[in-house]
Amino acid sequence: MQLDKAEILIVGAGIIGLTIARELVRAGYGDIVIIDKEPELGRHASGRNSGVLHAGIYYSPDSLKAKSCLNGNFLMRAYCKEKGLPLLENGKVIVARTTGELPVLDELHSRATANGAKVEMIDEHQLAEIEPNARTVGRALFSHYTAVVDPKAVLKSLKNDLEESGRVRFHLECPLTGLEGSGTAQTGKGEIGFSRFVNAAGAYCDKVARLFGVGGNLRLIPFKGIYRLLRKEAPFTVNSSIYPVPDIRNPFLGVHFTRSVHGDVYLGPTAIPAFGRENYGILAGIDREGFGIALEDLTLFLANPLFRSVALSEPLKYLPSYFYRDAARLVKELSPTDVLPSAKVGIRPQLVDWETKQMIMDFMVVADGASLHVLNPISPAFTSSMDLAQGIVAAHFKG
């Protein structure tokens, strides 16, 4: 059964799919279909992230993340102001827990400066003026451009814009199930013909890519991000975000404090190896891939020391006492009773190069004939999305 036919078919109605569609409309394309397996937007990574707009601090200056993050931040902030969407522009601080972390703090300052971010090294007195309860050893890094948005509000607004353009059609609850030849997608609702194809499938990007013979050396290893809430009656507050100095050899930033646009203060996320692309609960979301993912985790555990370190330390944060200890190292005052459970859980769809057994640190954009694949869309993908979309459309659709 023929469901639809489009010049461009986009699989995935998350932030990457929506922003690419937005740029295609701006470039003059007028026959675009977006499909998604869920009944509404924001069910997965795009709607479950912290809402932080990053400022290009962590990323190697030659990376696609570095090249897209800061301008993506500016574009997203401008969009939120234009549309009247919630936005906090309070910056963030990165604090050192030990003197051994100070050289990495200096490296972050160097990377941020090279990437064009406005940052400054501050002492403990200056830190106390910005975040009175934050604790550091000697000095901290203050990021001026870091901001916070409401991810679901952004997704809803973008979808409204695309529908109002009259050039984009959505089919929700419409999973991609396969390909028929080179120009027909099989879906749960029928066939969709296309001339160009965009893979913006998030945690399923590797599966979609393999339908086109792309990314055969890639494996997706999901990591679970658990959040907790700061009790509203806690005797202190968080004005913006308090982050630790991360281990820049891996792509995780560590448990941190973030004030949301709605006034709640979240702690997290963790980076616990998960057993499903939607394994949001302890057992919920473990599907038939779970056993295979467990075997891949074991392989990485044996082959990759960085993964082994994460796999040994992060699962302990399921326990409130361990989670609390991690968070308490960032602040002067925190009681276990100040940290409450939260329903907020996310999955980070981390790609691994299975030939080298190394986690891929950067975004990957692979063009293959009439198909284009946005792979490894992990943080700061939400921040980078509008700039990333501009670059993708300029490079692969214009001219």
CATH of residue 19's domain is 3.50.50.60
340 and 253 together in one domain: yes
- Arithmetic mean of pLDDT, 363-377: 97
pLDDT in tens, 214-234: 999 999 999 999 999 999 999
What percent of the chain stands above pLDDT 70?
100
**pLDDT of res. 399:** 54
The answer to whether residues 232 and 245 belong to one domain is yes
**Structure-block tokens of residue 231:** 């009790």
Residues 177 and 284 in one domain: no
| Same domain, residue pair 281 and 185 | no
45-83 pLDDT per residue, tens = 999 999 999 999 999 999 999 999 999 999 999 999 999
Is 349 in the same domain as 329?
A: yes
Tell me the pLDDT tens digit for each residue of 267-282: 999 999 999 999 999 8
Q: In the predicted model, is pLDDT for residue 241 greater than 60?
A: yes
* Judgement on whether residues 11 and 110 belong to the same structural domain of the protein: no
Same domain, 298 and 164: no
Domain count, the chain: 3
Share of the chain above pLDDT 90, in %: 95
Using the 3D structure, point to which of 127, 144, 161 is the last residue of a domain: 144
Q: What is the mean pLDDT of the chain?
A: 96
Find the domain containing 367 and state its range.
1-87+147-216+362-398
Residue with the larger pLDDT of the pair 283 and 376: 376
CATH number of the domain that 272 lies in? 3.30.9
In which residue are the tokens 């406005």 written? Answer: 118
Q: Model's pTM, two decimal places?
A: 0.96
Give, as one character, the DSSP assignment of residue 370: T
**The pLDDT value given to residue 326:** 96
Closest CA to 32 of 47, 13, 51, 55: 13
Are 191 and 175 in a shared domain?
yes
Q: 217: which 2 tokens?
A: 């050396």
